[in-house]
Structure 1
Amino acid sequence: MAVSPLVWIITCLVILGLFVFDFFAHVRTPHAPTFRESAFWSAVYIALAIAFGIFVIAVWGTTFGGEYFAGYVTEKALSVDNLFVFVIIMSTFAVPREYQQKVLLIGIVMALVMRGAFIAVGAAAINAYSWVFYLFGAFLIYTAAMLIKDAGHSPEAEQERENKIVRLVKRFLPTSEEYDGDKLITKVDGKRMVTPLLVALVVIGFTDVLFALDSIPAIYGLTQEPYLVFTANAFALMGLRQLFFLIGGLLERLVYLSYGLSIILAFIGVKLVLHALHENTLPFINDGQHVVVPEISTAVSLSVIIGVLVVTAVASLIKTRNGPAGQDGSDLDAQKDAQRQK
């Protein structure tokens, strides 16, 4: 897949332009987005991602187009799982709903920058050492096992990790106890101090680094093209802010999402190990010769990923049709009303 520097530059400028538009059109003036607004712009960004996939097919062919869509769907699914943690962070810091958009957008831009660095490092490692696929595959299988072990999410564990980051931040930065609108830095008794909004942003930034550790190896298991890896990540992250407000109330009903993601990560991990065996150069494996093993096609990968996500979503909604964790509808409505008041 030949991607010229000019195409890279144009792509980065377009993505940057979309984020700038998002800031000035929706985030600059603090407000709590409505369901209709979130649904509309979520659909817009999904449509843009699909349109880009069609562009990839038209320019580089169906093989690369399939790899892009497989990567995009996987990254989108992992992003939805990450929203659980964002909900906990927002709740922990009691971030007012009208200011949550700013934290999310800046956090998403930070995530894309950090993932760009991971993508560059990953591409360099893959080009230099084919055995890196063994490491990626083993790491994803390990991550899948940990997801199953910790399935259902542990708010206490997440909050404990966040508290450690908060204590570290407060050790080096003077922090105010109160919000000052959507400002990140304020003055208290004539002294400059960071607001809880900035602390929440730092926590999200650290969390994004951890998210990248499994998302980048996962997508490299579906495509080895850095351009597709980057654009799939960019489009998956681009609509994450709207998705946060759109399905925030449904997140607690996706009780089987961790199991579904663990299956997908384990599947991609096995795919990476098979690919590593096929490209083997390690002298202690088959005397450094390629190992004849079946390779999993992009079409099969995309089918498995979509199939697992559909089954997971349907099973979750059936399990929680009367409300999460066995709650009835009235209890769920009461919780939503309380959350809105916050």
Structure 2
Amino acid sequence: MLGAMLPPRDPDETLKARGADSRPAGRFEPYQKMRESDGWDIPEDSHLLKTEVVTEKPRSIITRNNSPDIGFDRSINPYRGCEHGCIYCYARPSHSYLGLSPGLDFETKITAKPEAALLLEREIARPSYKVAPIALGTNTDPYQPVEAKLAIMPGILRVLRDWNHPATLVTRGRGVLRDLDLWAEMAAKDQAAIGISVTTLDAKLARALEPRAPTPQTRLQMIGALSKAGVPVRVMVAPVIPVLTEPEIEAILTAAREAGASTASMIPLRLPHEVAPLFRDWLERHRPGMAAHVMNRVQAMRGGRDNDPRFGHRFRGAGAEAELAKQRFRLARKRLGYREGSPPLDCSRFGPPPRTGDQLSLF
């Protein structure tokens, strides 16, 4: 059997639009929970599994990194966990640090940081702070469904705008259009750029892979609206899943270019830590006849393993399979007229906003 042995789902729970189907224990847990019948045939009341949101008051909001694989050294994530429920999400293992499952807990137990804007202003106001673009949405999507109610992002963006601090965003959430005026204002000063993830153009496949994310057509509309407002948009063909979405590389690039995307990037499927058995289980449930083929192709790009965590390889893949996909991507990007890269964001204007009573400059 291809799928890993995951614990069965609670039969009394009803799932609606969820990516995972169970709650496997995180890698730091010493025990795995399994359900066993006690011999009593007593029916229980079933209930719909709903999203729970708790708040967190961290001491800081900017996370630093020194990874050679990514082009930023700092990021902000207003949420832990993501209700979009993308089964392949590389951030799922981060829930293990909370003692929660990377499976259903990741998409139903969300932690929000409502004081993010206050923390951000405090941190960038320090005399020792050195400005560089802040990346938003690098772990979980800041425009996931709960953001419509909590509205943490507008406060963050107002601080960034007022301080002339450049920022980038990765999202697939339609909520970004609610803040279009703020993003456009920052983009007009060359201080904003947005990446929109488009995994597939097949709405049915997207519904299974990314059950609570906007449809592919909606994401193309988002690209169009942002581009029309003057915000530079990068289409992210990610993740590229062999057999399932890999044949769509050229079609996605074409549709996104027609919608207004000016740059493009591609990342092959990554399956770190607990994501691999979760994805294998998803294949067995949704594409059983293709499961072995998909995983064989994944392993062909990852040195015979489900995942290759090495710096310099984890975002690119290796071998003939990966090189062929990258070559197709490069040729289509060139043919469609995408720019090779995005212009650098302007950090030169960074500084505290004027306050009431401040003396104005003569120049």
Tell which has more relative contact order, 1 or 2 (C-alpha 8 A, sep 6+).
1
Q: TM-score, normalised by structure 2?
A: 0.22
Q: TM-score, normalised by structure 1?
A: 0.23
Higher helix share: 1
